[in-house]
Amino acid sequence: MLLSGLFTYAFGIAFYYDIHSFYYFIIIQIICGALQTTGWPAVVSSVGNWFGKGSRGLIFGIWNSHTNVGNILGAVIAGYFVEYNWGLSFIVPAIIVSAAGFILFLFFTPYPEEVGISSFDIDSNRRVRESFNNISENTGYTDNNESISSTCSSSSTSQSQSREQRQQHQRRKLKPMDEANDSIVMDEEEHPLLSANDSAMESTDKQAISFVTALKIPGVIEFSLCLFFAKLVSYTFLYWLPKYIGASTDSSSSDSAYLSTPFDLGGIVGAVVAGHLVDKTGASALICSVMLLCAIPSLFLYQLYGIASESANILLQILAGAFVNGPYALITTAVSAELGTKVTNSHALATVTAIIDGTGSIGMCCYRSTTSGSGVRDGMG
């Protein structure tokens, strides 16, 4: 984040030093892109280490809203400075991201073990809550001793299982590593975000798995392709929507930037709803498919009626943003974390996230070919 802020600042100072070299801007963008792509796999892996599988959908949905908030803040900052000093549109975000990077450097803790919390304790607490909820649903809340003893028995059983798993984990760390670092063994635990027929895999060491091994995890390729198209549409709106609004209405450049923010507001709603539904149903693939199918008519509605009025533009942007960015957020966070933990190696999570998000970034690059040369007078054609 510190280096990303530095090179974003270098982009902005071109305004003051009257730099017009095409190669200067190309090199700066390449370096910024390379630095910024390292962030997402790392943060998804870190957040995934802190929460159990049963609640990741909603937690990641809420947490992922920071990307939409960043998009909105970027649009507001760029819209404020663009008409008289575009250099500040880069310098101000550079200062913000550098300050945030420094704070994270001081206080960020990627693993709960670093502060004395075991990952087994996190899963154990989740199982205790689930057991209590199941008892409550089956028998209701009662004051009799039988209900209380059942709850206590369930809790003690979960704690006992946690201790056994912790002991097995310690024994596994003491065993000699006879296999290569990308060797995998089957794990019996089912994953709620994935099919129950998919067996989990466990790595025998704590080193990063190979790229090929990550691709072999069931679901990685399928969700990567899904994100390819979702990110293509999302970034088409992010980069092209202000231009479309300015060309199809009488709005100025700054007003067009402000009017493009409801799309990200819809993305926040879609991400939270999608994550909550996945936690309840465990059907991540089905939810992604349904939301992406609903995105098709929402995009056509925006094309037909988005320029009818300002209120219609805002409402239809929110609708389209929810259906497009909901699956996008779900795949890049909760689904990536779930796929990464199929190999019980903390480094596998970051590798899987990088593959999925990287495939989506290829789709983001393709948005230019869908918009170049297209007119924006009367519609989004």
- β-sheet bridge partners, residue 343: 201
**Residue-level pLDDT at 316:** 94
Q: Is the pLDDT of residue 204 over 70?
A: no
Task: Report the alpha-carbon angle 85-89-90, nearest 5.
Answer: 120
**Residue-level pLDDT at 287:** 92
**Residue-level pLDDT at 174:** 44
Least confident window among 123-137, 275-289, 313-327: 123-137
**Residue-level pLDDT at 141:** 47
| H helices present in 220-345, as ranges | 220-248, 253-259, 262-281, 284-305, 310-330, 336-340
In the numeric block, the tokens 């993305």 are attached to 267
**Residue-level pLDDT at 95:** 94
Q: Is the pLDDT of residue 184 over 80?
A: no
**Residue-level pLDDT at 142:** 45
122 or 323: which leads in pLDDT: 323
Spatial distance between the Cα atoms of 10 and 23, rounded to a whole number of angstroms: 13
Question: Among candidates 338, 297, 360, 346, which has minimal Cα distance to 57?
Answer: 338
pLDDT bucket at 301, cuts 50 / 70 / 90: very high
Least confident window among 73-77, 139-143, 339-343: 139-143
**Residue-level pLDDT at 68:** 82
**Residue-level pLDDT at 336:** 84
Least confident window among 148-162, 216-230, 269-283: 148-162
- 3 state DSSP class of 41: helix
Task: Report the alpha-carbon angle 75-228-79, nearest 5.
Answer: 5
291 or 210: which leads in pLDDT: 291
pLDDT digits (tens, 9 = 90+) for 189-203: 444 444 444 444 443
**Residue-level pLDDT at 178:** 44
**Residue-level pLDDT at 2:** 92
**Residue-level pLDDT at 378:** 39
**Residue-level pLDDT at 145:** 46
Asked if 336 and 327 count as a contact pair (C-beta separation under 8 A), the reply is no
pLDDT bucket at 209, cuts 50 / 70 / 90: confident
**Residue-level pLDDT at 314:** 92
Q: Is the pLDDT of residue 350 over 90?
A: no
pLDDT bucket at 371, cuts 50 / 70 / 90: low
**Residue-level pLDDT at 201:** 44
**Residue-level pLDDT at 120:** 57
Least confident window among 38-42, 133-137, 185-189, 334-338: 185-189
- Across the chain, mean pLDDT equals 76
Q: 76-85, 317-326, 365-374: which has the highest mean pLDDT?
A: 317-326
What mean pLDDT comes out for the span 89-110?
92
**Residue-level pLDDT at 168:** 58
pLDDT bucket at 354, cuts 50 / 70 / 90: confident
Kindly tell me the sign of the dihedral angle through the C-alpha atoms of 344, 350, 355, 356. positive
Percent of the chain scored above 90 by pLDDT? 24
Helix (H) or strand (E) holding 377: none
pLDDT digits (tens, 9 = 90+) for 233-242: 888 887 888 8
**Residue-level pLDDT at 182:** 43
**Residue-level pLDDT at 322:** 94
